[in-house]
Structure 1
Amino acid sequence: MKKYILVIGAAALLALAGCGNSPDSQSDKKESHDEHADMNHSGSAEMPEGLEEAANPEFETGSKVTIKADHMKGMDGAEGMVTGAYDTTAYVVDYKPTDGGEEVKDHKWVIQEEIKDAGDEELKPGTEVTLEADHMKGMKDAKATIVSAEKTTVYTVDYQPTDGGDMVKNHKWVVESELESE
């Protein structure tokens, strides 16, 4: 009789352990998804090789600014400070992440110095390239297509997201038209 109860108990435990719709497993899936949403968008203070500081930027390093860009949640309307200004060509790109994620459309911004073998000439829309930028997970070494190009000053900024998230440091990149003086 003890053996029979032991076998029934073991079978019940196995059945419960194999259940994939338990509240705990749903909670784990939600947390995993939320981790991506709350990704830290701070960047390294290290700049790409060959990038030159802007001679006459509209916003000097240390300037207080309001960000008028919606690259990510909590960015539009955020107050921040310019941490760097650089003259280059900024690109909007479509790319397929190397980690198998869905294709990213109209990513703003990747700069000339973050594109493998880009040289000095502005790349035309439709040009296929390999990204050296590492702003987002799966971006480095991703195949991309140039959507548009803009010869401009790009900025790195520190800002406090409007949604109360953690302070973002050295966010790469915003362009002059996406900043306002405070």
Structure 2
Amino acid sequence: MDMESDSGGHMEHSADEMSSSGEVPEDLKEAENPTYAVGSQAIIEAEHMQGMDGAEATISGAFDTTVYTVSYTPTNGEELVENHKWVIHEELEEPGEAPLEPGDEAVMNASHMEGMEGATATIDSAEKTTVYMVDFVTTDTEEEVHNHKWVTESELTPIE
């Protein structure tokens, strides 16, 4: 559930809304040799939600896939979300071969945030990488977030 948007700051969501069941699409492949192994720790260098940047994360899943930034109008009537990070290829309905190209459209089967599932996404960018599901405690309110989807390898740094 990424709330980051190039068009205007951060959406306010609680840690409960940022946690997930940990379920992943059936066809998503676990990473064979991830930089950060499941159970290891890393520092998050991304602000998908307030209190995330600088948090110490425990890796709860590592998967090889294509990740997309997408723009879409939520199905719940909220305003256009631009450059949402991240939706993975396996969360798109019948996407065909990866990667999709910028400007392509696909229906999302992701429920990272309210109004996302069933919305038509326009692909803004695509990158083949390892994505991680992480557990962390927010740096501002100290709320626990479980199974946050998704953080890319480039958004994590080793703990020194």
Whether TM-score is above 0.5 comes out as yes
- Separation of aligned partners in 2, 1:153 and 1:171: 15
Q: CA deviation at 1:119?
A: 2.4
Task: Report the residue type matching 2:49 in the other structure.
Answer: M
Task: Report the residue type matching 1:70 in the other structure.
Answer: E
Secondary structure at the counterpart of residue 127 of structure 2? strand
- Separation of aligned partners in 2, 1:119 and 1:54: 21
Secondary structure at the counterpart of residue 26 of structure 2? coil
Secondary structure at the counterpart of residue 154 of structure 1? strand
- Separation of aligned partners in 1, 2:142 and 2:36: 25
Q: Any unmatched runs of 5+ in structure 1?
A: 1-35
Conserved 8 A contact 2:68-2:88? yes
Percent of aligned positions with the same letter in both sequences? 53
Q: CA deviation at 1:38?
A: 2.6
- Separation of aligned partners in 1, 2:14 and 2:22: 21
Report what 2:99 is aligned to: 122
| C-alpha distance after superposition, 1:84-105 (max 9, x if no partner) | 1000000000011000001111
Report what 2:63 is aligned to: 86
> 1 or 2, which has the higher helix percentage?
1
> 1 or 2, which has the higher strand percentage?
2
Q: Any unmatched runs of 5+ in structure 2?
A: 1-11
Report what 1:137 is aligned to: 114
Conserved 8 A contact 2:56-2:137? yes
- Separation of aligned partners in 2, 1:160 and 1:121: 33
* Residue of structure 2 aligned with 1:97, choices 74, 91, 110: 74
Structure 1 residues 139 and 92: CA distance shift in structure 2, 3 A: same
* Residue of structure 2 aligned with 1:54, choices 23, 27, 31: 31
Q: CA deviation at 1:165?
A: 4.0
TM-score by length of 2: 0.89
- Separation of aligned partners in 2, 1:127 and 1:108: 16
Report what 2:158 is aligned to: 181
Task: Report the residue type matching 2:144 in the other structure.
Answer: M
Matched, 1:38 2:43: no
| C-alpha distance after superposition, 1:38-83 (max 9, x if no partner) | 3520012111120010011000001111100111111110111000
Higher relative contact order (CA 8 A, sep 6+): 2
User: How large is the RMSD of aligned CA atoms in angstroms?
Assistant: 1.1
Matched, 1:106 2:98: no
Moved more, 90-99 or 115-124: 115-124
Aligned residue pairs total 147
- Runs of 4 or more, structure 1, over 3 Å off, are none
Larger Rg: 1
